[in-house]
A and B are shown apart, each in its own frame.
Chain A
Amino acid sequence: MRPIGLILACTLAAFAGADNTFFLRNADVYPVTAPEMKGVNVLVQDGKIAEIGAKLVAPKGVRVIEAKGLRVYPGMIDSGTELGLSEVPAERVTVDTGEIGEFMPQLKALIAVNPDSEHFPVVRVNGITSVMTYPSSGGRGGGRGGGGAQQFIAGQAALIHTEGWTWEEMAIDRSAAMHLIFPTLGRTGGRGNFDSAMLEMIPGATGGTFTAAKRSYDQQVTKITEFFDKARQYQKERAVKGPGFKTDLKLEAMMPVLEGKTPLAVSAARASVIHDAIQFAEKQKVKIVILQPRDVLKAAPELKEKNIPVILGRVLALPDQEDSAYDESFTEPAAAFKAGVKFAFGTFNNEFVRNLPYQAATAVAFGLPPEEALKAVTINPAEIWGHGKEIGSVEKGKWADLMVTNGDPLEVQTQMKYLFIKGKEISLQNKQTKLWERYLSRQ
């Protein structure tokens, strides 16, 4: 330990003034991927975690932050948001999530992220340092009043930090997933409804209605298959680049998916639809992540067997059916964990992103081991989105996305003391704290 510290001290002299280099002294570090370390020091250099250790010495000239009695955790990751794309859902002009067109893989969420969105500072102060932001809700711009047009491939979701001067600086992964909205059996809409659930329980129950619904569903699945076939054909032609070959931006955007580099993030609620989505992905030899499953328990054996991760939606949600258990959504994460499914949490509404930790805590109240809840908002999403080597835990070599708190980060009364994204200290002020201070002083 000591020799490393000494060498670091020498190399660090040059960085002493950098705003992404600092030394946390005497902190309780919760790496998530390893047992907690009490009373240790953390050296952050150039935005990355350079060293963690009890005997580590602060290099000369480096900012020292006394962290006695404080806890250090990795920043949290929300795997389901529209941050930067949607400001005020009721006002279409402020929403850029839902484009027109059934297959739009060439669209990139990242380039429409507004770094100055008021939402970023609001979610940051609760410890959310990175998020997945998705294009979705087809047609009419999205938001409330959007979602009119049917859409299958909405575009590329980005994994971003919640801080940066530009979307380029915010990007962790410009194209972390391709968002596919799998068709729904029965009525439209990602969340299940009485009809489709009953239909699945009683095959043929409603005769003509079911047949019609099934036919329409099959047609839509065929449409998706045909699009993938077209992309595969293009892939072959692209390899040869024969006379007359012309780049097709839409199909070009599908190449990383076909090559297995970018996963498909598939919105699928019902067990049968999840099954179909898995079958589809196997046939197409592409990686998938299931978003917001409602029947995660029914689908669990297959999800586990095929090693398919899921992004669970809000834990604080109403039960699916009138006669579902009142605590269905509260207990689902614990049950998914017991079934061996790998999962992360998403809030799927910008307003709820800052409540990500309390969603996770509710899952703990209803049986999820606390360490698993923490993983589901840190290392699990980092790994699911292919960036487990850069974010999601407090480990040497990773980005210093750190929250320094006075307690358990999933507990509602816990206060954020410091927040760092890529080693840069983030102001804990936002529009809301400023309004609070301003009007508190009104006489």
Chain B
Amino acid sequence: MKRLLLTAVAAMAPLCAETYVIQNATVMTVAKGTIKNASIVVKDGKITEVGTQVTVPPGAKIIDATNQFVTPGIIDCHSHIAGDGGINEGSTSVSSMVDIKDIVNPEDIGIYRALAGGVTTANILHGSANSIGGKTVALKMRWGKDAEGMIFEGATPGIKFALGENPKRAGNPTGGNVNATPARYPATRMGVEDVIREAFNDAKAYKAEWDAYEAAKAKGEQVISPRRDLQMEALKEVLEGKRYVHVHSYRADEILMMIRIADENGFKVRTFQHVLEGYKVAKEIAAHGAGASTFSDWWSYKVEAFDAIPYNAALMTKKGVVVSINSDDAEQMRHLNLEAGKAMKYGGLNEEEALALVTLNPAKQLGIQDRVGSIEVGKDADLVIYDKMPLSAYAKVQKVLIDGTVYFDRDNEISSRAAKEAEKQKLIDKEKDVRATPPASAPRRPQQ
């Protein structure tokens, strides 16, 4: 199985970035409107020209996109693919020392499938078992590269917090895990608030210790450095604005609670994740300056998801919140364009606003909007070519470019299938032969 996959990987590993001109397409730039019969020039991994009149550089490969649509690469602000199976260090209520970056599995087939669904960048998060979870990492879906080659270079790292049912259930003896001994604190929303408050109480003291040390050192004093505490270090970075806080949340009360803790401790929540009741406190979220990354229409799977409405994205957008639609799921991740399209049906966003939910807005939420999220000169050439209007349920992805390299091409994918199937069959046959033929050294049974 593994062998088979590796062969497939090797066969598909894209070459270095070429110069392309995507011609005659409807280009949905997200930042600067939609341009019909437009072309995009891609050079050295960047977008160098966009418009109805472009100069074709010598040696450029032409991609004819007549009757097709080009959008910025889809960005998923909440995913767990490439997480190597275990993403919940739930044994402690504050696991800020662990990092998803350390366990990126570049061979997870989920990466290729996401890519085939137009995703070019994804925020890979720790799970939601604890109030303060592990560190997060943004990846580009550069299928075929190693773990380091996937990491979105220069993106501000994040950390996952979690409120509500999940963190309280993990330790609550009357909740999901009845066998937990001793029960892990917290078991209520009150306890979740306290865990976060206590952690920042400690982190502020830790930061003060380090600040004092750095100040003394700067003055030339002979001082011994405080002990480095990796659990506190991540929270110190939060206090310094060097690490984004992504908060798993559902109910309006807990969202408001988190905003007030952040205010009190002098940091910002970068995004609320899921945030299914965000529409109830959109005003407060907007005032705090947090983004909201939600589902298109999932609801009812648990009590805290029972007041979820498919109008959430549109309503928060109308109230001035920067909103994205995420997947949190390897399947949903493959059609985020369709999920964004639902915000037109539910709440009446226009095409550009809807498409921004899965492109420019998540880019802003992850602080990478100077690099990706829209089709503009100077940005990374992360582009998706669709056969139909991308917000339609009938659209399908034809090609995906990342950094100006074609990482997915549906035509190639289809035409290479027969060869892959033949290779697989060959391996199966070989396996059959091996099993059918007894080892030469084995004593033979008498033949009848």
Report A's interface with B, CB cutoff 8 A.
87-91, 118-119, 122, 144, 201-202, 204-205, 316-319, 322-323, 325-327, 330, 350-351, 354-355, 357-358, 361-362, 364-366, 410-415, 432-433, 435-436, 439-440, 442
A92 to chain B, nearest CB (A): 12
B420 to chain A: which residues have CB within 8 Å? 323
Q: 29 A-B Cβ contacts within 8 A? A: A88-B300, A88-B301, A88-B303, A90-B303, A201-B428, A205-B431, A316-B334, A318-B331, A319-B113, A330-B396, A351-B300, A355-B297, A358-B393, A361-B393, A361-B394, A362-B394, A365-B394, A365-B396, A366-B396, A410-B393, A412-B342, A412-B344, A413-B341, A413-B345, A433-B311, A435-B307, A436-B279, A439-B315, A442-B282
Residues in A whose Cβ lies below 8 Å from that of B301: 88-90, 144, 351
* A62 → B minimal CB distance (Å): 32
Bound CA–CA A204/B431 (angstroms): 11
> How distant is the Cα of A411 from the Cα of B345 in the complex, in angstroms?
10
Contact B391 A412 (CB under 8 A): yes
Binding site secondary structure of chain B:
helix
Residue of B4, B300, B344, B435 near A202 (CB, 8 A) is B435
Q: Using A118-B300, A413-B391, A435-B307 as known contacts, list a sample of 13 further A-B pairs with CB atoms less than 8 Å apart, ordered by residue number in A.
A: A88-B300, A90-B303, A326-B413, A351-B298, A354-B297, A362-B338, A413-B341, A413-B344, A439-B279, A439-B315, A440-B311, A440-B315, A442-B282
- List the interface of chain B (C-beta within 8 A of A): 1, 4-5, 8, 109, 112-113, 116, 279-280, 282-283, 297-303, 306-311, 315, 318, 330-332, 334-335, 338, 341-342, 344-347, 388, 391-396, 413, 417, 420, 424, 428, 431-432, 435
Report the nearest B residue to A119, measured CB to CB: B300
> Main secondary structure on chain A at its contact with chain B?
loop
Q: Are A412 and B338 in contact (CB under 8 A)?
A: yes
Q: Which A-chain residue is minimally distant from B4 (CB atoms)?
A: A323
Contacts of A410 in B (CB 8 A): 393-394
A325 touches B113 (CB 8 A): no
Q: Point out the residues of chain B lying under 8 angstroms from A318, CB to CB.
A: 113, 330-331
Q: Return chain A residues, CB-CB under 8 Å to B308.
A: 432
Q: Are B116 and A326 in contact (CB under 8 A)?
A: yes
Kindly provide the distance from the CB of A417 to the nearest chain B CB, expressed in whole angstroms: 13
Let me know if B318 and A440 touch, CB within 8 A.
yes
Contacts of A365 in B (CB 8 A): 388, 393-396
Q: Are A88 and B306 in contact (CB under 8 A)?
A: yes
Q: Which of B282, B338, B346, B394 has the most CB of A within 10 A?
A: B394
For A119, the chain B residues whose CB sits under 8 A away are: 300
Q: Lowest 8 CB-CB distances: which A-B pairs, in order? A: A361-B393, A90-B302, A436-B311, A432-B309, A358-B393, A412-B341, A326-B116, A412-B393
How close is B406's CB to chain A, nearest CB, in angstroms? 16
Residues of B within 8 A of A118 (CB): 300, 306
Determine if B302 and A88 form an interchain contact, defined as CB atoms under 8 angstroms apart: yes
For A442, the closest partner residue in chain B by CB is B283
Task: Give the residues in chain A near B428, CB-CB below 8 Å.
Answer: 201-202
Inter-subunit contact B315/A436 (CB<8 Å): yes
Q: Please give the distance in Å from B138's CB to the nearest CB on chain A.
A: 23
Contact B435 A204, beta carbon cutoff 8 Å: yes
Residues of A within 8 A of B299 (CB): 122, 351, 432
Smallest beta-carbon distance A74→chain B, Å: 19
Docked-complex contact B8 and A362, CB < 8 angstroms: no
A186 to B420, CA, bound (A): 27
Indicate which residue in A122, A316, A323, A432 contacts B5 across the interface (CB closer than 8 Å): A323
Looking at the assembled complex, report how far the CB atom of A237 sits from the nearest CB atom of chain B, in whole angstroms: 46
Asked if A412 meets B392 with Cβ closer than 8 Å, knowing A88-B302, A351-B300, A439-B315, the reply is yes
Report the Cα distance A88→B302, complex, angstroms. 5
